[in-house]
Chain A
Amino acid sequence: MIPAILDTPAPHERTLRRLSDLLVRRHNLLVLILLVPPLLWLGMVYLGSLFVFLAQSIFSIDEFSGTIVREPTLATLAELFRPANFDILMRTVSIAAAVTVLCAIIGFPMAYYAARYAGPRAKAAFYLAVMMPLWSSYLVKIYGWKLLLAKEGAIGWIAGRLGLGPALEAWLALPLVGGPSLSVSYTGMVLVFTYLWLPFMILPMHAALERVPSSLIEAAGDLGASPGRTFRTIILPLALPGVVAGAIFTFSLTLGDYIVPQIIGTSALVLGQAVYTLQGTAGNIPLSAAFSLVPILVMALFLTLAKKMGAFDAL
């Protein structure tokens, strides 16, 4: 009785076997089945809701009642070019650009040292030091910086002790970067952003620099190139993909942040805050959707340029 059952496979087992045969023969089918759940998630839940939101930007808000008029119009998108709104865009992009440049300048020597000179022990310490700020809470770090940058805070105190008080005052008296104190100036905001996103710049740079073959650098030296020339013609071009990859992080992170500007800076709004305020009590969803389009376009432009520079080869 029992052997007989084992001989002929049960109908249930037969379908399973047929299914597995099918999947082996039709390779694409298996891939499709595996991809359906994540694609559904990404396509419908993520992209779907994003597009529904962005599509609102072609609607407008009724001037009189404040209700949303669901008729396609370009008026809302044109509103982005009103001086007050355009200011917000320019301000945000400039801050992001300044933060990116500053991160690259500060991060490069650190990454270069770790990639080329540090021994195994120093390298471990380097990784730890770079990653450590990421372990503590984002808000704690910002509030910490607020105390450092305050008028009667640590930086002002140290500057005063070193006799640099007048220099700090002179800097704060400058028109754009200055303000009543560091913590309510663009200088402070850029400093905090730079501190926050620096690890995201150093790590890809380090990865790219490690891949620069030392033989090339030695060859350049043997052929009589000065250190400056070696840097310009060998190291920088080869490490550039890493720099650009890091820049993508620092630039996009700054572009989207709306917490730091609430605590540090001049109180003038940046993109994220504008979107947040407009879609809140104001109920001006069309304009906030129009604002959200901007970082997407800016990042698309940035990524296209980055791709041209080979940034994605370093990922």
Chain B
Amino acid sequence: MRVQHLLALVTCGSLSFQPAFAAEKTSIDKGEGSVDIVAWPGYIERGDTKKDFDWVTDFEKKTGCKVNVKTAGTSDEMVALMNEGGFDLVTASGDASLRLIAGKKVAPINTKLIKSWNSIDPRLQKAPWHTVNGEHYGVPYQWGSNVLMYRSDVFKEAPNSWAVVFQETTLPDGKSNKGRVQAFDGPIYIADAALYLMTHKPELGIKDPYELTEAQYKAALELLRGQRKIVQRYWHDPMVQIDDFTNEGVVASSSWPFQVNLLNSQKKPVASTVPKEGATGWADTTMMHVDAKHPNCAYMWMEHSIDPKVQGDLAAWFGSVPSVLAACKGNALLTDDGCKTNGAGNFEKIHFWRTPVAKCSTQSAGCVPYYRWVSDYIAVLGGR
């Protein structure tokens, strides 16, 4: 791991001196026989895990491009893999995508070559996490939101505010929420606290939960320190959270639709909501490497990736929302309620995940960069 990281650093350093190289493709020729993709686990399924969930086999038969998937568990891993090279595509989240564009690792996409481009949800077509200076650096794949998951046997009505996980209160069952709520254990959770303050302390002037001035940042940390006292565990692994909702008496937490769907499939009394403050979320984009060895197959996959059937199946599998709205209707696996369950109606309420940087657009005084989020969140977890 250490060696790998150093290598990545070295390659970063040496490659940043190369001139920008981004000749746009003008036509798609015959496939090269294979395509190599870096993806989140569960994002590209060929029916190995469950037979019904397969959106690779048909593509391979149709195009003759064999799909090779390398899964990566974190955005950092994805950036490191793309820096090393040897891959054609990556399903990058908002925090990785801009880093990849800035590092000149991914090529602009000629949207004219993606026949179904116009079928993509218009709200995603020009999303800032893949569009830089009017150039598109990828094809939107899926998005999702963090949700407030709660036990429906404790809350008769959906809680309408994140306050149930941020501040000590008495829950509808008459007992305190102390030791019965969870929070996410990544530093990016500071943005959730900032989002909460946006509504509850408007005098702080928070405009964007990922762009915080010193004072706003301090207030968010203060809120989180208070939250530390009522949190049972900071969750990290979705499976552990599922177990905590089942066996540990946890009743409310920020979560992903994935856990909600899984718990519902086990007939557990669990539901989810996006409270009035809104929520944080993620949006992923399929991006092409500048030195892709199989650009034709890569373009064919990008076109295939926004096929309504693929999008619907994937959304059902992953608990995410399709980037093609047509996928929401008539998909057997997703069902007609699937998009709604996974949060399709919440787009406007979602602040998509981004890496906080020092130079930010909404605050002229500059913002607190991500590395400080990390060290300060460590302190919060440790009770400091």
Contacts and interface: CB of A to CB of B under 8 A. Distances in A.
Given A87-B384, A153-B247, A285-B5, A278 B374 contact: yes
A128 to B, nearest CB: 31
Interface in A265-287: 266-269, 274, 276-285, 287
A64 interface: yes
Contacts of A152: 247-249
A154 to B, nearest CB: 10
A66 interface: yes
Interface stretch (B227-235, B288-296, B313-321): B227-235
A284 B237 contact: no
Given A268-B383, A284-B371, A147 B243 contact: yes
Given A66-B358, A282-B371, A183 B248 contact: yes
B125 interface: no
B6 interface: yes
The contact size tier of chain B is 35 or more
Interface residues of A, number: 44
A226 interface: no
Contact of B375 (A65, A143, A180, A282): A282
B232 A180 contact: yes
Interface in B255-278: none
Nearest to B182: A267
Given A53-B2, A66-B370, A285-B5, A280 B375 contact: no
Interface in B268-327: none
A52 B179 CA distance: 43
Interface in B339-366: 355, 357-358, 366
B23 interface: no
A284 B188 CA distance: 16
A233 interface: no
Contacts of A91: 382
Contact of A180 (B179, B243, B247, B358): B179
A180 B232 CA distance: 6
Contacts of A50: 2
B384 A65 contact: no
A262 B243 contact: no
Contacts of A64: 358, 366, 369
Which applies to chain A's interface (DSSP): helix, strand, loop or mixed? helix
A279 B358 CA distance: 19
B11 interface: no
Contact of B76 (A88, A266, A274, A281): A281
Contact of A66 (B74, B179, B231, B371): B371
B185 interface: yes
B95 A88 contact: no
A66 B369 contact: yes
Contacts of A283: 370-371
B75 interface: yes
A206 interface: no
A267 B224 CA distance: 14
Interface in A39-78: 49-50, 52-53, 61, 64-66
A146 B240 contact: yes
A262 B74 CA distance: 16
Interface string A148-166: 0011110000000000000
Contacts of B1: 276, 279
Given A66-B358, A262-B237, A278-B375, 16 more contacts: A50-B2, A66-B369, A83-B384, A143-B239, A146-B240, A150-B247, A151-B249, A152-B247, A180-B233, A180-B249, A267-B185, A281-B75, A281-B187, A281-B370, A282-B370, A282-B374
Interface of B: 1-3, 5-6, 9, 74-76, 95, 179-180, 185, 187, 231-234, 236-237, 239-240, 243-244, 247-249, 355, 357-358, 366, 369-375, 378-379, 381-384
24 contacts: A53-B2, A66-B358, A66-B370, A66-B372, A84-B378, A84-B384, A150-B243, A150-B247, A150-B248, A151-B247, A152-B249, A180-B179, A180-B232, A180-B249, A184-B232, A262-B237, A266-B233, A267-B234, A278-B374, A280-B74, A281-B95, A281-B374, A282-B187, A285-B9
Interface of A: 49-50, 52-53, 61, 64-66, 83-85, 87-88, 91, 143, 146-147, 150-153, 179-181, 183-184, 262-263, 266-269, 274, 276-285, 287
